[in-house]
Amino acid sequence: MAIAHGEKILKYLEENGKANSLRLSELWNEDHQKIVGTVKSLLCLGDVIEAELHSSVKWDLTEEGKQVTTHGSHEAQVYNAIPPSGSTQTEIMTQASILNAGFTKDMAKVGFSKAMSLGWIAVDKSSGAPKFIQKVSSIQDVVQEHLKELASGKNMLTNELRTEIVKSYEMKPGSSFSTSVTKQETDLTPEMITSGSWKTKEFKAYNLNALGTPVPRGHLHPLMKVRAEFRQIFLEMGFSEMPTNNYVESSFWNFDALFQPQQHPARDAHDTFFLADPATASDIPTDYMERVKNVHSHGGYGSQGYGYDWKVEEAKKNLLRTHTTAVSARMLYALAQGGFKPAKYFSIDRVFRNETLDATHLAEFHQIEGVIADYGLTLGNLIGVLYEFFRKLGIEKLRFKPAYNPYTEPSMEIFSYHPGLKKWVEIGNSGIFRPEMLLPMGLPEDVSVLAWGLSLERPTMIKYGYDNIRDLVGPKVNMQMVADNPLCRLDKHRGTEIKEPDYLQELDIRMDSILTRLRGIENEVSKLKKKDKGSPEKLTLVIEADPIYPPLSVQTLIRILMASRNAPVSVTIHQHSSLKKACSADLMQWAKSTISNVSRVDNLFNLTWIWKPVGPRPVAKVVNHYNGDICGETAVARLLARILESWTDCAFYENYDLNTTAEIDDWLDMWENCIQSGDPNFVVLINHIYNQLNCSDGRKWLTGVLPGTKSLADVFLSTVLGHKLNSDRAKEWLSRCNSF
C-alpha cells in the first residue's frame, strides 16, 4: 500500500518537479495522514526524495458552522420559519426544526434575539397572545455568505470556526531520485551468504549517528583508578610502598611519636575516633616511649619541649588513625633500629576523622603520603621533589605557603594554580619532620626526613568533576557512574575537567567563534545585497546600550546610514525598566525615523534602540536571522559598517581590499585592547593616531595606501576619541571625518 502510494508520489514528482503532501491529498482524495506516512517511508530510503516539513494553520468550520452554510444563519432560519401571518414562538420553533432537524433551542434563542436586533422580525401583540411576524419582505444572510466563502478557502474569523494546525511536506526529488522503489535489506544473513542473494540485494544504510549497543563488562572504581595512577607515579620515582593495613593505631604512634602534644586539639574526641574496644594499646617500646615522654615534657635534642606533664595513659588510647603518618613513624622507627639506610616511602590508604561531614568531607578518606629520609636533605630538595611529583600529575605551576604543623618544621602548604577557578588552590601539605620526632627514634642527627601528603578524593573530584563526595565514595554511589567513568590519565586534560588554557588554542577557539559570527553576518549582508535584484529584505536590529557608556561610534554610523537615504529606517528608542535613572530627552530622541510611517512594513531597516544598564559593551541582535548576540562597540560598529556597505554599495570596510580591511580591524582591535588592558586614556592608541597623521607623506586617513582611504577606522576613532585629540593634524582629520 505504502509502496504503491510511494511510487505514485515519485511519478508525480518526476512529472511536476515538486509536490506538497496536502495538495496531493486533495488531488487524490486521500487521507493526508496516509500521504504523510508514505512520505516518511520514502525518506527512509535514503536520498530518493527531499522533504521539508511545513506547518500551517488552517481554518475549518465546526458542525454549527456547517449548518449555517446549508440552512442559513440562526436568525435567517428563525425568519424563514415565520409564516406571513405570523406565529407564536413555539410554532416557529416547531416549523424551524421541520426545516432543519439540527436546529436547537439554544440556536433559536440566538436566532430570535439576532433577528429582532437586525429588524427582520417583530412582536405583534394586537391579537392577544404575542405573535412574531416578518418585518421585512426579504433578508440578506451575510453570515451564511461569509461562512460559505471561508469553507471554500477564504480566510476570515468567526465563532463558527475551529483552527487546525496542518503539517505538510514540501517534496522535491533527491540526489538518488528514482521512480521505482525496492525494499532494502537491513542486515546480512547466513542465508544470503549461502545463496549468494546478497549480490543483488540493496542494504539499508546504517545510521552512524546513533550509539552502538553497550557491551557487557566489569569496571574498576574511579577512585581506585586514580589511586593506581598515584601509586604508579610513586613507583616510577623509586618510592616503596608502606604496609598501611592497620586502621587501628595507638595515640602514641598517631600523635606522641610525631611530637604532637597531648593537649593538641586534634586529639579531641571531636576530631578523632577513639575506640571503646580494644580501648588501649598494650605494647609501646619502653625506652623509645621514655625518650618521647622526655622530649614532650622537658625538651632535649636542642628543644625546649612543650613543658607539660606527659601521660602514658593518654598515649595508650587506641584510635582509628587520623593520618598515615602514624605508619610513617613506625617505618622511620624501624629504619632507625636496623641501622639507618636512606629510604623513600609512600602510601595511599584510608584515614579517619570524627569531623563534621559536608559535601567534600567524609569521616574516612584516603591519604596519599610520600616520605624521603636521607642525610643532608634540604627544603630546596622538598620543593624540587614536589615539582617533579606534581608535574607527573600534569600540574606545573606550584606555589608554597608557610604553614604550621606540629610535626614538621619548616612546613609548607602546596598550592597549584587552578585555571578553571582562576586562582591558587591548596592541594597538599608538606614539610621536614621535626628533630623532636626523629631523634628520639634513634635516627642519626644529620638525617632529615621530607614528607608530603594530600587526599586522594580531592584530586579525583577535580579530575572527574564531582561536587559531592558521596557521588564518588560509599554505598550510595551510582554504579552506572563507575561503569561510564573514563580512564584515569592524570597528565591528560580532558572531559569534565577544566583545562589549563592553551593560549594558541584559546585564540583558535576565539577565531572560530568570530568566523561563525562572521558567516552569520555574511549571510545577513548577502541577503541585504539581494536588494539590487528586487526589494531588499527587511532587517530588524535591536541594540542595547548603556546610557552611562553611550556607544558614540554606533550612533554615528546609524546617522550615516540614515543620511544615505538609500535605507528607509524606522527607529524606536526605549528605556529599559532596569535603568536606575530615566534617560534625558536627548538620549530618547537622538535618532528619528527617516520615514514618517513607523509601522514595520517590509523592505525597511528597523532599528530598536534600548537604553539598558548593560555596561560599556553594547549588544546588538539581528532579529530573526542570526542567533548570536554581537557584543562590544567595535563588533556592533563592524556590523553596521557591513550593513552600510550593503545598503549604499560604497566602500567603507570590507568592500576594500583585504589589506585595508585588515588595517581597519587593527585600529578597532587597538581600541578594544586599550579598554581591556585598562588604558582608559588610550595613550597607546592616541600616539598611534598621531604618528599616522603626522607623517609628512600627506596622508589624510588612517588606512589604505596614500593618501589613504576614509573608512570605518576613521569614523569610529574620530567619534570615540575626537575629544581627546588636539594636534593640528588630528584636528584637520577630525573635520574631514565629520564631513563624511
Partner 1 sequence: MPTISINRDLLFSALGKCYSEEEFDELCFKFGIELDEVTSDKLIILKEQGTERSEGASEEVIYKIDIPANRYDLLCLEGLVQGLQVFLGETGFPPFKVIPSQTVPQRLIVKSSTCSIRPYAVAAVLRNIHFDQNTFNSFIDLQDKLHQNLCRKRSLVAIGTHDLDTVQGPFYYEALSPDSIKFQPLNQTKEFTASQLMDLYATDSHLRHYLPIIKDSPVYPVIKDSNGVVLSMPPIINGEHSKITLKTRNVFIECTATDLTKASIVLDTLVCMFSRYCQDQFTVEICEIETSQGGIKNYPILKTRQEKIDVNKINRMVGINEQADKVADLLTRMCLTATVAGNGCLSVTIPPTRHDIIHACDVYEDVAIAFGYNNIEKTLPSTNTIAAQFPLNKLSDQLRDQLAQAGFTEALTFSLCSKEDISDKLRKPLSSIPAVHVSNPKTLEFQVARSTLLPGLLKTIAANRKLPLPLKFFEVSDVVLKDRQRDVGARNCRKLCLVYYNKSPGFELVHGLLDRLMQLLEIPLDPTGTTGYSLKACDDATFFPGRCAHVVFAGATVGVLGVLHPEVVTSFDLNLPCSALELNVEPFL
Residues in 535-594 at the binding interface with partner 1, rule: CB under 8 A: none
84, 153, 190, 218: which one contacts partner 1 (CB under 8 A)? 218
Least distance in angstroms from the C-beta of 578 to partner 1: 20
The Cα-based distances of 572 to 36, 335, 392, 426 in angstroms read 45, 84, 60, 54
Segment 478 to 507, residues that bind partner 1, using CB under 8 A:
478-480, 482-483
Closest to 118 in 3D by CA, of 104, 96, 135:
135
638 binds partner 1 (CB under 8 A): no
Pairing outcome for strands 240-241 and 364-375: unpaired
Whole-number Å distance between alpha carbons of 200 and 524 = 49
List the Cα angle 97/102/108 in 5-degree steps.
60
Using CA atoms of 613, 617, 622, 627 in order, give the dihedral in degrees to the nearest 10: -100
245 binds partner 1 (CB under 8 A): yes
Phi/psi-derived region of residue 603, left when phi > 0, alpha when psi is between -120 and 50, beta in every other case? left
Using the rule CB under 8 A, give the single segment among 118-126, 268-276, 713-721, 722-730 that binds partner 1.
268-276
C-alpha cell at 295: 622530649
265, 339, 678, 698: which one contacts partner 1 (CB under 8 A)? 265
Q: Which is nearer to partner 1, 263 or 589 (CB)?
A: 263
Least distance in angstroms from the C-beta of 345 to partner 1: 9
Segment 343 to 382, residues that bind partner 1, using CB under 8 A:
343-344, 350, 352, 354, 362-364, 372, 374, 376-381
Segment 426 to 465, residues that bind partner 1, using CB under 8 A:
432, 434-436, 448, 450
318, 328, 455, 606: which one contacts partner 1 (CB under 8 A)? 318
Closest to 415 in 3D by CA, of 405, 404, 429, 432:
429
Whole-number Å distance between alpha carbons of 519 and 118 = 62
Q: Which is nearer to partner 1, 120 or 234 (CB)?
A: 234
Whole-number Å distance between alpha carbons of 519 and 229 = 45
Least distance in angstroms from the C-beta of 385 to partner 1: 6
282 binds partner 1 (CB under 8 A): yes
Least distance in angstroms from the C-beta of 438 to partner 1: 10
Q: Which is nearer to partner 1, 238 or 698 (CB)?
A: 238
281 binds partner 1 (CB under 8 A): yes
Whole-number Å distance between alpha carbons of 617 and 354 = 51
Q: Which is nearer to partner 1, 363 or 705 (CB)?
A: 363
C-alpha cell at 185: 535489506
Q: How far apart are the first and last CA of the chain?
A: 70
288 binds partner 1 (CB under 8 A): no
Using the rule CB under 8 A, give the single segment among 31-39, 202-210, 242-250, 531-539 that binds partner 1.
242-250
181 binds partner 1 (CB under 8 A): no
726 binds partner 1 (CB under 8 A): no
384 binds partner 1 (CB under 8 A): yes
Closest to 606 in 3D by CA, of 591, 589, 617, 593:
593
Using the rule CB under 8 A, give the single segment among 405-413, 611-619, 667-675, 694-702 that binds partner 1.
405-413
278, 420, 444, 501: which one contacts partner 1 (CB under 8 A)? 278
339 binds partner 1 (CB under 8 A): no
Whole-number Å distance between alpha carbons of 646 and 348 = 67
Q: Which is nearer to partner 1, 228 or 623 (CB)?
A: 228
Whole-number Å distance between alpha carbons of 455 and 100 = 88
Give the burial class of 714: count Cβ atoms within 10 A of its Cβ; 0-12 exposed, 13-18 middle, 19 or more buried.
buried
Q: Which is nearer to partner 1, 30 or 374 (CB)?
A: 374
Using the rule CB under 8 A, give the single segment among 61-69, 474-482, 523-531, 543-551 that binds partner 1.
474-482
308 binds partner 1 (CB under 8 A): yes
Strand intervals (E) in 362-444:
364-375, 398-402, 408-418, 423-433
Least distance in angstroms from the C-beta of 296 to partner 1: 11
The Cα-based distances of 339 to 170, 241, 258, 442, 444 in angstroms read 90, 20, 21, 9, 9
